[in-house]
Amino acid sequence: MAVADFLLRRFAGEVAGGTDRSGSGKSGVVVVDAGDAEILVRSGCGFVGDGLELRFRAGLPAQGRRVMGRAAARLLTEDLPRAARAVQWSRLDGERVRQWVELVEDHEHLQGQLAGRGLVAFVRDGAVLPRASGVSSAPLRGAVELRSPPSLRVTLPTLHHGEVSGMGVPVGVTLVTGGGFHGKTTLLEAIQRGIHPHVPGDGREWVVTSPDAVALRSEDGRSVVGVDLRAFISDLPGGRDTRGFTSPDASGSTSLAAAIMEGLEGGATALLLDEDRCATNLLIRDARMQQLVARETITPLIDRVQQLHADAGVSTVLVVGGSGDYLEVADTVLLMEDYRVHEVTARAREVAAGHPTGRAVLPPRGAIVPSPRRPRLRSFDPRRGQRAKVRARGLRELQLGEQTIDLGALEQLVDDGQARTIGALLEWLFEHGREGGTVRELAEQALAAADERGLYALGRLPDLVGVRRYELMAAIDRLRSLRLLEAR
């Protein structure tokens, strides 16, 4: 993966400078889908037998609908072959390739150590987390480098870089607190993306997160189909059941409860949440509201978060500056101040003891166990009229047949190509999915097929990018056409 990623970037760089773009429309335009900050599996480059295949789109040089023969011949027989020669081994900087490979291997090596060390994530001392701007993936210049508080510092062995030291984010319930603009969200977002390796020079090369950490948010208006929400929502007016909750237009709180249960259905071992993006009423309810409102249907996360870890083994990292009630239920409290991380768990306990909230801590009602759902395969129908129509628009929207799936809440999608891959996998499931499988089993089946034959085999598209089970499942969860087989 690392070598392919490197070669594809090299080829893209070569193509960008070396082709003639005269003419009109896509004339002469060569599009190579190389990556940005993350190093990911891509269909644009594959090792086939003893050889290497580079895959890309090229517009033949043309004026209107007339191909310009000479220019086309030059593109096909001179420019592209020249660009392709740039990835021949003899022309590469071997040290740089080695650097790429060693970073990817060590990222994976560290990921493999997290669970055994009781960690959800690791951020090496010296990491640069903020980006230059909201639309740039480049590191912010002059940023404050991350330094672990002494109490959280861990030292881990790597394969190629000796021992590395930095902040270990422990399993359990971790709060990231601090004043506005002190870097809380920046830390959480870096952790969200630490599921993937990053390119040398990115600043986040040594942010390493459990591959089963899932970032979730509220999503007013989303579709929810047949999710068991009883752990968070029950006793609805009119006796409506929340065992298999369905809504075409879920609220902020309901959508977050659904996202948590769907995450558990997928096998998530850590939830990453930012209060900025989460409905308050699913996060907390204070003493006064407990007094005033007798018939509450929501059990907020604050009453479940410890149970999530104790019973289901699921950790939570929660950015929260607004509600001190959470101090009581946290195992670890981080305080961000001027972009510096302090560990203040003991102090937080003192504050909590000194300022009792008077909240009644509700005893856990029932286990938090997701009920697996079994989709009907026709839910994945990609047809619009006679023909399949599957098209991603950027990262946020995926058209599948008649419907548009909103991917905007999938925080950990990082590359447009991943949205295209989700589309291709849904289409594959319509054809080849095993009827009767659960959402998770279907996602695993599709990903195993893509893994075995390569992403390119999915639809001979040059711009597909690897996705996790969690993102594929999240897209299935949001299908407005999702229908389930009757519970057995």
Q: Is 129 in the site for ligand ADP (CB under 6 A)?
A: yes
Among residues 185, 210, 307, 379, the one that binds ligand ADP under rule CB under 6 A: 185
Beta strands in 132-244 (DSSP E): 153-157, 163-170, 173-178, 207-209, 213-215, 224-227
The residue among 266, 366, 263, 264 whose CA lies nearest residue 307 is: 366
Among residues 44, 59, 139, 183, the one that binds ligand ADP under rule CB under 6 A: 183
User: What gap in Å lies between CA 127 and CA 211, rounded to an integer?
Assistant: 19
Q: Is 251 in the site for ligand ADP (CB under 6 A)?
A: no
# chain residues binding ligand ADP, by CB under 6 A: 15
Nearer to ligand ADP, 144 or 361 (CB): 144
Nearer to Mg ion, 185 or 316 (CB): 185
Binding partner of residue 116 among Mg ion, ligand ADP, none, CB under 5 to 8 Å per kind? none
Contact yes or no for 412/470 (Cβ under 8 A)? yes
Binding partner of residue 186 among Mg ion, ligand ADP, none, CB under 5 to 8 Å per kind? ligand ADP
Shortest reach from residue 186's CB to ligand ADP, in Å: 3
Map tokens 């990491």 to a residue. 127
Among residues 23, 139, 178, 266, the one that binds ligand ADP under rule CB under 6 A: 178
Contact yes or no for 347/274 (Cβ under 8 A)? no
Among residues 17, 51, 116, 180, the one that binds ligand ADP under rule CB under 6 A: 180
Q: Is 97 in the site for ligand ADP (CB under 6 A)?
A: no
Among residues 10, 107, 124, 184, the one that binds ligand ADP under rule CB under 6 A: 184
Among residues 10, 42, 124, 182, the one that binds ligand ADP under rule CB under 6 A: 182
Beta strands in 19-86 (DSSP E): 30-31, 45-48, 51-54, 57-58, 62-63, 66-67
Residues contributing to the site for Mg ion (CB under 5 A): 185, 276
Contact yes or no for 107/208 (Cβ under 8 A)? yes
User: What gap in Å lies between CA 369 and CA 115, rounded to an integer?
Assistant: 21
Binding partner of residue 130 among Mg ion, ligand ADP, none, CB under 5 to 8 Å per kind? ligand ADP
**372, two tokens:** 């697996």
Nearer to ligand ADP, 180 or 238 (CB): 180
Binding partner of residue 129 among Mg ion, ligand ADP, none, CB under 5 to 8 Å per kind? ligand ADP
Q: Is 198 in the site for ligand ADP (CB under 6 A)?
A: no
Binding partner of residue 237 among ligand ADP, Mg ion, none, CB under 5 to 8 Å per kind? none
Shortest reach from residue 182's CB to ligand ADP, in Å: 4
Shortest reach from residue 332's CB to Mg ion, in Å: 19
CB-count exposure of residue 94 (10 Å: 0-12, 13-18, 19+): exposed
Nearer to Mg ion, 156 or 320 (CB): 320
DSSP 347-382: HHHHHHHHS---PPPPPP-S---PPP--B-GGGG--
Shortest reach from residue 349's CB to ligand ADP, in Å: 22
Q: Is 138 in the site for ligand ADP (CB under 6 A)?
A: no
User: What gap in Å lies between CA 67 and CA 61, rounded to an integer?
Assistant: 6
User: CA 10: distance to chain centroid?
Assistant: 26
Q: Within 10 A of 56 (CB to CB), how many other CB atoms are there?
A: 19
DSSP 289-337: HHHH-SS--B--GGGTHHHHHHHH--EEEEE-SS-GGGGGG-SEEEEEE
Shortest reach from residue 387's CB to ligand ADP, in Å: 44
Cβ within 8 Å of residue 45, ≥6 positions away: 4, 5, 7, 8, 11, 52, 53, 54, 55
**218, two tokens:** 């509220």
Q: Is 186 in the site for ligand ADP (CB under 6 A)?
A: yes
User: CA 460: distance to chain centroid?
Assistant: 24
Q: Is 130 in the site for ligand ADP (CB under 6 A)?
A: yes
Nearer to ligand ADP, 30 or 187 (CB): 187
Shortest reach from residue 153's CB to ligand ADP, in Å: 18
What is the binding site for ligand ADP (CB under 6 A)? 129-130, 140, 143-144, 178, 180-186, 336, 339
